[in-house]
Amino acid sequence: MHAMVLERPREALKLLERPDPQPGPGEVRVHVAACGVCRTDLHVVDGELPHPKLPIVPGHEIVGRVDAIGDGVQSLAVGMRVGIPWLGRTCGVCRYCREGRENLCDHPLFTGYTRDGGFATHVVADAHFVFRLPDDGDDVATAPLLCAGLIGWRSLRIAGDGKKIGFYGYGAAAHIIAQVARWQGRDIFAFTRSGDVAAQAFARDLGATWAGSSDDVPPEQLDCAIIFAPVGALVPAALRAVRKGGRVVCAGIHMSDIPSFPYSILWEERQLMSVANLTRNDGDEFFAVVPKAGIVTRTIAYPLIRANDALSDLRSGRLQGAAVLVP
């Protein structure tokens, strides 16, 4: 197999040839057809997430087909089209797992962070944490759904049912979940980097009621807001934008420090919440919604060997939509 490998944080990935991995008991090996490039991958590569397993193959928006099965696997078969997400395994015994909150497991494994991921031609995954996918889907278009879509869906659910919803940061996740929100009949207010008229036009193309810079005041008070950009300074801005009783959800795994802000913008029962990881139930719910909402992802495909270019384009904000690696 070939893989793009991170040997040390803040260094470029290296294309290496390795022996094909063999699935252990309860695992499957997947021949990767496409793997999305997520901002979390960037946090791993840039050393912003602590204690990765090194060397590590990043990537956790994986679409492919099962080509080998370990002992005891009965739910999957060779040739099945599957998706592999960020949550790679949970302990099943801690209080959070027992309470049905496996996204908060005390002893998890994460794809592309603490176990090898999909920036490769092959990857091994725990069969219980693999999603069955329709056999006839487009692999590149599907890949961003495995994290940008799933985390966006969890964030949308936690944000509540408010009709006027703000999205801070209009990248891979927002452009997917905006389509769900429009299908649900919500009004979307898109906040982008200052002066990024292309991203604002992109948001309007996807049905945004209003689009402006992240430091702009929206024309109406919002019922809720989701912050996809890893910028702590957006928290006070979002709190100021939501109405009394409104909710602000931080959707990222990493964010720069949140500056101090006056209690008055949190008062009146505004809520500030975070989203951590995902559950398998989130996946089941979201993939049932995808065809109903008619989600169409906008993607830019890169060959596997150009993984560093894809990460650089994501880091600099040059992408509209989602980057996807194609081995």
* 27-37 and 122-126 beta bridge pairing: antiparallel
Mean pLDDT value of segment 3-30: 97
Res. 100 pLDDT band, cuts 50 70 90:
very high
Q: What is the pLDDT of residue 319?
A: 86
Q: Which CATH class is domain 149-274?
A: alpha beta
Amino acid letter, 62:
I
Q: What is the pLDDT of residue 107?
A: 98
Question: Which of 1-15, 187-201, 301-315 is least confident?
Answer: 187-201
Amino acid letter, 286:
F
Task: Compute the half-sphere exposure of residue 221: CA atoms within 13 Å on the CB side of its CA.
Answer: 11
Q: Do residues 16 and 302 touch, judged by C-beta distance below 8 A?
A: no
3-state secondary structure of 220: coil
Question: Residue 277: pLDDT above 90?
Answer: yes
Specify the CATH number of the domain 2-147+278-326: 3.90.180.10
Mean pLDDT value of segment 292-317: 96
Q: What does pTM read for this prediction?
A: 0.95
Res. 78 pLDDT band, cuts 50 70 90:
very high
Question: Residue 317: pLDDT above 90?
Answer: no
CB atoms within 10 A of CB 187: 18
Mean pLDDT value of segment 209-220: 95
CA 276 to chain CA centroid, nearest Å: 11
Res. 285 pLDDT band, cuts 50 70 90:
very high
Q: What is the pLDDT of residue 98?
A: 97
Question: Residue 318: pLDDT above 90?
Answer: no
Question: Residue 207: pLDDT above 90?
Answer: yes
Mean pLDDT value of segment 135-142: 96
% the chain with pLDDT above 90: 96
3-state secondary structure of 102: helix
Question: Residue 93: pLDDT above 90?
Answer: yes
For the record, the structure tokens of 132 come out as 């069955």
Question: Residue 150: pLDDT above 90?
Answer: yes
Q: What is the pLDDT of residue 250?
A: 98
Mean pLDDT value of segment 228-237: 97
Task: Compute the half-sphere exposure of residue 264: CA atoms within 13 Å on the CB side of its CA.
Answer: 1
How far, in Å, CA of 18 to CA of 209, rounded? 49
Which tens digits make up the pLDDT trace of 32-67? 999 999 999 999 999 999 999 999 999 999 999 999
Average pLDDT, the chain: 97
Q: Where are the domains positioned within the chain?
A: 2-147+278-326, 149-274
Burial of residue 71 (CB within 10 Å: 0-12, 13-18, 19+) is exposed
- CA-based diameter of the chain, in Å? 59
Q: What is the pLDDT of residue 195?
A: 87
Question: Residue 320: pLDDT above 90?
Answer: no
CA 5 to chain CA centroid, nearest Å: 20
How far, in Å, CA of 79 to CA of 88, rounded? 21
How far, in Å, CA of 326 to CA of 304, rounded? 6
